Amino acid sequence: MAPQNSKQLLLPLLMLVLSGLFLGFEWNSSKPAPPEPSPETPPEEFKRESDTRFENYNESGDLSALRKRGTIRFVTLASSEDDLLPRAMIVSRLHYQLAKDLARQLKLTPHWIAAASPEKALQLIKSGRADVFTGNLAKTKERAQNFDLSDAISTSHQQLVTGKDGPDVNHPDKLKDVIISVMAGSTYAATANALQKKIPGSKVEMRELRKDDTVDRLVDNINRRKNVVTIVDSTIIDGLKSYRNDFKAGVFVSDEEDIVWAMRKGSPELKLRINNFLTTKLIDVPLDRPSDWGAIKKSGLIRFLTYNGPTSYFMWKGTLMGFDYDLAKAFAEKHDLEMEVIVVPYDQQLIEWLKEGRGDFAGASITITDKRKAQGVAFTIPYIEMGEQILSNGSKPAIKSLQDLNGRTLTLRAFSVFEEIAKSLQKSGIQVKIELADPQVSYEQIINMVAEGEVDATIVDASAAEIGAALRDELVAGPLVSDPLPQGWMVTKDNHSLQKKLDEFIKEFKASKKYEKKVNYYFKPNKQAGKKLMSRIIPGEDLSPYDKLAKKSARAYEFDWRLIVAQMWQESSFDPKAESPVGAQGLLQVMPRTAEEVGYPPPLFEPGRGIEAGVKYLRWIRDRFDEDIALENQVWFSLAAYNAGIGHLYDAQRLAKTLELNPNIWFDNVEKAMLKLSEPRYFNKARYGYVRGAEPVQYVRNISKLYRAYTAITPGEIALRLRYLPDFTRAQVKPSRKGHPCQHGHWNLSAGGHFNLPHRCGPNGPWTYPTNVTTESAKLVDQLIYPPRP
């Protein structure tokens, strides 16, 4: 095989990640930020968020000019401030959702572009390459002179922040010899320079956003450097405080600042429409507002109390969802109300928060019982009825009937309806032992304990039993132990007006086709999860009807096409018209927002378009992992993030460190942390909150098994063989010095059997291998690069 052809095969095999989309995030240097381009030379746009059918253009006109084009271009920061699970906010106030709603009201098609800093985003607007900046942009005199700014969306202060062991940021006058690390091109930079003049021995360090930046990474980094402080908007700090306590927030170092959107100077029509739009969206509701229907309608906002959990409210693939959340949102939209979601801590009672007036109605798959009614609440009519079921570990004798419970032990959550059910079994003559877990132990933690063999069995909602058994081989769903029990929403005892409106909505919704789809999605096992993986494996035939399209996209984005086919089978069973109840479309089931962001707005039912969108998104994910992660694990991480959302993957990596697991290895490490993120003791401290971790874990396992089977029946092509590849990284395997002579075909082994030659001839010159690479591994890589000629 010619070296050039070898190179073409090596790239998808080793998944080399291209660089250049973002500037580096330099934490170990204090070099100044590169100079900003002049207004005549706009900064490079972040191409992945441009519609492939959309060619950007220069436009300096007002709203009438945008209407002629039919589009509005929003520019955002490459790292979104919206990117977390909202735990106490009006969800429609997220910048992305506001922008999308604005475009809908203006009857314009939205397009998104991203920039590495606020100043670069503003330059794109000034140069006519974008129309509106949407994000946490502070209003300044200079910006007001150069741009049309909206009315204030919110207010914020710049605030000093450091790690948990950092210096005292409550008293800046006592600071000395610190590094003030801030984002280049932001209002923080001027504040940092002013502080430097007041703090003896201090230095200012400018940094730019990189593709894998998050606020959590910022906090993690300052925790590793005890003499570093940074400056962050107080609104962002408030979000961090909802799930982290390993940092210190200090004094405000600025006056109160208005957070605004920006448009080109001379856009009075667009500015007026945006301000009118924001006026209707940004509702301030008095804290002591009553919860009766009249007061709710007058305020224009309804407050929903819930838990962050598997069926109530969670983030999945970057989208907020949940059975309770979806229904509550549909109720709010029906009555033209904004909705504020308030996440109640798992160790506190929804009933108490409701009675204290912190919300208008509450729900999280709550079973309707007389005991709860006696606590001072009223329930709506049931929106679902759910039986209770035994869940046990498959390594122990099967529990197929109630009689099989004799001599077994049920570990149950304290103060739950399950205790009453178990006691009724004992009264009926079943000799089953009941153990109540500590009140701190959650429902999800007990399920994990059953899966890990720590306890014998438990009682769970039938949906949890069925889904758990479908996703985890260790779990077995047993017999039902109760009749279907009604579940519903709660209002305060005498709130008849709101209860009546909710009852009317539930009755109407249960009669719709949407209801059945949502019940199946949230409470029934995913049919794809239980698929017989090998049913499509036929030696000598195409792997799928879409092999050519998969090869094309895989080649373009440097993946093994068989991996893409395996993922396609897992996602859609090769059905290009597949659409999930939450809107994911096509052969690779891409979510609508994701499709828009990678440049393929829905619909995605055309096979080529659906595959291109999914593979491009998979590549976008892969580019967001540290370069020191082994290439094999980048694949597994990418698949897990594709399934659950990259935020949950980041959370799992951070949790893996806490659990003393390797955050750079998927199997038996990060996948274990992912499973733990279903437990409140862990997801309460995670940026993205709860995740049904068993789903991405099973997703990766299924695709890896099918991928290996596909490679086994295509012997004429080089397989990725990820199980056997050494953990090479870019830091370990790299070209040797230019001009070093190639010694193709020659191996030089050390006495210990290790590959000791400092180079190996590659398609573009020699490769350097680390000295700890074994002979077998080095020869394997050599065979991948230079397969034997026939």
Which tens digits make up the pLDDT trace of 619-648?
A: 989 988 888 899 899 999 999 999 999 999
Which stretches in the chain have pLDDT values below 50? 1-40, 46-51, 81, 530, 532, 719-790
- Picking from 522, 478, 65, the residue whose alpha carbon sits closest to that of residue 312 is 522
Token duo for residue 555 = 């080649």
Using alpha carbons, select from 563, 567, 479, 564 the residue that is nearest to residue 528. 567
Q: Chain centroid to CA 203: how far?
A: 35
DSSP classification of residue 242 = T
pLDDT at 519: 94
Contact 559, 615 (CB under 8 A): yes
DSSP 174: G
3-state secondary structure of 468: helix
| Residue 285 near residue 360 (C-beta atoms within 8 A) | no
**Residue 492, class by beta-carbon neighbours within 10 Å (0-12 exposed, 13-18 middle, 19+ buried)?**
buried
**How many Å apart are CA 229 and CA 385, to the nearest integer?**
53
State the DSSP H helix or E strand holding residue 548, giving kind and residue range, or none if neither: helix 547-557
- The tally of CA atoms less than 13 A away on the side-chain side of residue 42 is 19
Whole-angstrom distance, CA of residue 412 vs CA of residue 407: 16
